[in-house]
Structure 1
Amino acid sequence: MDCESGADTSTRKRKLCRLVVLSFALLCILQATLNISLRLAFYSSDTTTTPDCEAIIKNLTKQQDMRMNELARYIQQGWIYFNHSLYYVSSTKNTWNDSREDCLQRGADLVIINSREEQNFIREFKKRTWIGLTDAEKEQTWKWVDGTTPTISFWDTDEPNSYEGTDEDCGEIFFYTRENSWNDQPCDSKNVWICEKKM
């Protein structure tokens, strides 16, 4: 059972809020810089731009605006931006399959961890969470929800192990205080989950 003090929860919420605000501010700065750079590049090099060139510039600006609006909408819904992906951390617990279904309904999937930076980012949530890793199709052949095999892994010592013969086909972050934090767990256990949507 996870017991958390009110102070820890409040501190975590403040840190998460700061991260969201900082991410949004950086994205706004990036958009403004891109808009200015594109306009300067196209207008300063040739003051007699053709209608086709002007259409391309307007289209690029419109696409950037749409992406920024989409990103802002996700952030307002509680998603967190990190390294070209959006992440959603559930506030309830569920089985691995039901957790994945929730992610799919949100237009995402359970998180796929492809780098040490992403692993450490996920650990910062300091929660036992489902990740998009399973060997349900073939025992000891771990695959991500997109069908790929892990190119990097962060299994804890002696994991995965199907503890005492238990059918543990789903991956989770369990030992989040250390980098090698992955554990195999029965899929019908209930955990918090993290969805990932590539941007």
Structure 2
Amino acid sequence: MVRFDHTEVSVQMDYVNMPRTSSQGETDAVTGRNVYRLVAVIFGLLCILQAALNISLRLTTCHLKMVLVLTEATAFMAFEIFKGVVRLPPETRWDRLQVSCNPLHSASKIKETATEGTCTNSSQALDELKKKIKTIDSHRQQGWLYFPPSLYYISSTQRPWSLSRADCLQRHADLVVVNSREEQAFIVNFNMRVWIGLQMTKGTWKWVDGSQLTESYWTPGEPNNFENAMEDCVQTGLNDINSWNDVVCREPHFWICEKVV
């Protein structure tokens, strides 16, 4: 009788404990799935964070490279001015130089380009700037002078206007086109009478690049076709802003070539 009761109790206990074992297994399975999901989410976030860091580092690298090259260009300009190779007249507006070679000003433009999500344009700008620096340096060694944004070559001999221009063309340049008061001040600073790229064409003063004359620096009383001569070419110089003079084209004079870089 005692053995029967023990068996009956055992069966009853086994029956009661069976659901508890099944419920614990399901709980463990659910917990395991949640852990896997959490790990997957964390891994995904890490991937996104890594991608963001890569993009940020890439853009930062582009900025640093560009600022270094721009700083190099600015240092080059400062060194040239210090040596006197780049001769700037007192009338020169320094803000014009700052627009061309101020690294902070240029870097801000590069920042706008880089924020588009690629360094392609920035790399092209770097290559162009390096090429420009090399061009300026190589021409400087050949006697050219740099005044932003162009290189200038002053002849050591005198020729008529047409032959002077032919020499400039052979140098892959042309007679100077004066586009501003600052540029005119730079030219007359040499205190020489030189041909410029201005000529009378069919009754109209035109530059060698085909543009018409809009801003002039004539000497008072000029142009005048003195003594009814065919003074269809122009020279400038002698340390005065308003120093243009119309001259007969066949007269020999020094000349100045300009090459935009």
TM range (shorter): 0.7 to 0.9
Task: Identify the residue that residue 163 of structure 2 maps to in structure 1.
Answer: 98
Q: Cα gap change, 1:70/1:186 in structure 2, threshold over 3 Å: closer, same or farther? A: same
Q: Is the aligned partner of 1:161 residue 2:254?
A: no
For 2:184 and 2:107, how far apart are their aligned partners in 1?
Answer: 34
Q: Cα gap change, 1:125/1:22 in structure 2, threshold over 3 Å: closer, same or farther? A: closer
Which amino acid in the other structure matches residue 112 of structure 1? V
Which amino acid in the other structure matches residue 217 of structure 2? F
Higher helix share: 2
Structure 1 gaps of 5+ residues are: 1-15
Please say which structure displays the higher CA radius of gyration: 2
Structure 2 gaps of 5+ residues are: 1-80, 89-96
- Which structure has more relative contact order (CA 8 Å, sep 6+)? It is 1
Residue 142 of structure 2: which of 73, 77, 84 is its match?
Answer: 77
Count of matched residue pairs: 169
TM, length-normalised to structure 1? 0.73
- Displacement, 1:55? 4.6
For 1:97 and 1:17, how far apart are their aligned partners in 2?
Answer: 35
Task: Identify the residue that residue 195 of structure 1 maps to in structure 2.
Answer: 257
Residue 129 of structure 1: which of 194, 203, 211 is its match?
Answer: 194
For 1:132 and 1:185, how far apart are their aligned partners in 2?
Answer: 13
- Displacement, 1:66? 1.6
Say if 1:114 and 1:150, in contact at 8 Å, map to a contact too: no
Q: Is the aligned partner of 1:117 residue 2:178?
A: no
Q: Secondary structure, in 3 states, of the residue corresponding to 2:157? A: coil
| 1:40-97: CA deviation from partner (whole Å, max 9, x where unpaired) | 959xx99xxx7xx345444332222122111111111111111211111011111100
- Could you tell me the percent identity over the aligned residues? 43
User: How big is the alpha-carbon RMSD for the aligned residues of Structure 1 and Structure 2?
Assistant: 3.1
For 1:132 and 1:37, how far apart are their aligned partners in 2?
Answer: 35
- Displacement, 1:146? 1.1
